[in-house]
Amino acid sequence: MKSYQPAELFDGNGRLRPELAELPPRGDRRMSANPHANGGLLLRDLRLPNFRDYAVEVTVPGVATAEATRVMGRFLRDVMKLNLEARNFRLFSPDENNSNRWQDVLEVTNRAWVAQTLPWDDHLAPDGRVMEMLSEHQCQGWLEGYLLTGRHGFFSCYEAFIHIIDAMFNQHAKWLKVCNHIPWRRPIGSLNYLLSSHVWRQDHNGFSHQDPGFIDHVVNKKAEVVRVYLPPDANSLLSVTDHCLRSRNYINLVVAGKQPAPQWLTMDEAVKHCTAGLGIWEWASNDRGQEPDVVMACCGDVPTLETLAAVDLLHRHAPDLKIRVVNVVDLMTLQPASEHPHGLSDHDFDALFTIDKPIIFAFHGYPWLIHRLTYRRHGHDNIHVRGYKEEGTTTTPFDMCVLNDLDRFHLVGDVIDRVPNLAAKAAYAKQAIRDKLIEHKEYIDRYGDDMPEITGWTWGHEAAAPAGIRSTEADNV
């Protein structure tokens, strides 16, 4: 013990010498009290442009097209520009910034890069604020550290490969849950994910790139921490993005497509729809003032497209059928209010979905998640869910839906099977649907693309339908 030379450390009474007691830092200089270890103390709100200024003009639902994440990228470009001086906003992307349509951000900043540059390198600089590296782990770690020290960020990733950071997500979610109950912990910026290049448009990359299961993984965590959004078009994505950047102490999961797609809602409609989290699309429904015969629900951009195409067929060729179309943006609204802060009350859920009518639900992810979220609802036994069921290959976009029974023709068939009196009278329609699906397979085998009546469909315009649906028998149902 004498080798430690205690006489140099302590006085004759065994007390630490005063000059040594003065050495440890005090106040905020202490490691445990350093504001960088409690990032909420340093947090400053982002300066945000008005997201409404980036709206896609929608005069008629489903006619205009846009790449939703490209529109989002323009908004993020100007978020970046407004916060360059504050240096408190970054984007994180594992080699997918441009692929997921955020390239406009490079108009105002570069990719962070401190190694050698070559003449043909693209937007590389030491002060770049886009963190791009082909390592989901690295991007997740960077973003977590950035948030924990009082800044803001957004992480863009291919949907199938975000699973690489499942365990890291787990730990951040658990940390947030615990910190919500520690009063001296100040709120930090939310961890925001954009998952694009998603399962329904991985027709060119094939089966390896098709997996919507991160949604299930996120939903496992505490309701006070997680939020899941599936905006159906660009304007709703803008509204959701603004909300996520303003939020604190959440993990926000946003799933949105990057390919050209129909636009359904004006900006005013999108804001109201996203604020509610779900709602009836009255312009697509024909049941106002009476009970519907069937509820057509949808969640996700491609499921919304296929649902509306199915509804269009039914409106045209079974006009007496009363259909209610319900779109879901905020997935957690499906849970009871007792289970999640965003959950609908049982009364509101019953009013929206009914308690005794068939519900055909087209979902972006694995079908059983909808059953899991709604199993306590009165009308749960009436819910029939279509979604991804591990069928995929390198094929056409519409064929991805057909392979998983999410396409418009399968949805029409589901209605025929489940609406009383309709199924018994629609044998010819069911046969025509079968024939139309055979025609689809023959066409893509020959031409390598989807049929023009599929790629050219727009809401409210004459669409090709299986001949049997045009029959007098079906029209009189």
Task: Give the mean pLDDT of 15-19.
Answer: 92
Write the single-letter amino acid at 268. Answer: D
What pLDDT was estimated at residue 290? 93
Residue 270 located in a structural domain: no
Residue 423 binned pLDDT confidence (cut-offs 50, 70, 90): low
Do the Cβ atoms of 306 and 362 come closer than 8 Å? yes
Residue 469 has pLDDT above 70, yes or no: no
What pLDDT, in 10s, does the model give residues 236-264? 999 999 999 999 999 999 999 999 999 99
Tell me: do 22 and 51 sit in the same domain. no
CB 239 within 8 A of CB 270: yes
The answer to whether residue 417 sits within a structural domain is yes
Reduced DSSP (H G I as helix, E B as strand, rest coil) percent helix, strand, coil of the chain, to 5? 45, 15, 40
Same-domain check for residues 352 and 449:
yes
Q: Which domain holds residue 375?
A: 277-475
Is the confidence at residue 472, as pLDDT, over 80?
A: no
Which domain-ending residue is among 233, 261, 289?
A: 261
Tell me, yes or no, whether 228 and 314 share the same domain: no
- Answer with the one of 231, 261, 291 that is the final residue of a domain: 261
Q: Does residue 313 contact residue 363 with C-beta atoms inside 8 Å?
A: no
Q: What's the domain count of the chain?
A: 3
In this model, does residue 435 exceed pLDDT 80?
A: yes
- Domain of 135, CATH number, reads 3.40.50.970
- 345-359 residue pLDDT tens: 999 999 999 999 999
Residue 291: which CATH number? Answer: 3.40.50.920
Residue 71 pLDDT more than 80?
Answer: yes
Q: Sorting pLDDT into bands at 50, 70 and 90, what band is 422?
A: confident
- The 8-class DSSP code of residue 330 comes to B
Percent of the chain with pLDDT over 70: 96
- 246 in a domain, yes or no? yes
| Overall average pLDDT of the 71-94 stretch | 98
Residues 150 and 216 both lie in one domain: yes
CA distance from start to end of the chain: 96
Same domain membership, residue 321 and residue 246: no
pLDDT at 308 over 60: yes
- Across the chain, what does the average pLDDT equal? 93
Dihedral over Cα of 167, 173, 175, 178: its sign: negative
pLDDT in tens, 86-112: 999 999 999 889 999 999 999 999 999
375, two tokens: 């199993």
**pLDDT digit string (tens) for 394-419?**
999 999 999 999 999 999 999 999 99
Which of 261, 293, 312 is at the close of a domain?
Answer: 261
In a domain, 467, yes or no: yes
249 and 83 Cβ atoms separated by less than 8 Å: no
Q: Which amino acid is at 369?
A: L
Q: What's the CA gap between 254 and 314, in Å, rounded?
A: 31
pLDDT band at 424 (very low <50, low <70, confident <90, very high): low
Asked whether the predicted pLDDT for residue 466 surpasses 80, the reply is no
Same domain assignment for residues 257 and 281 = no
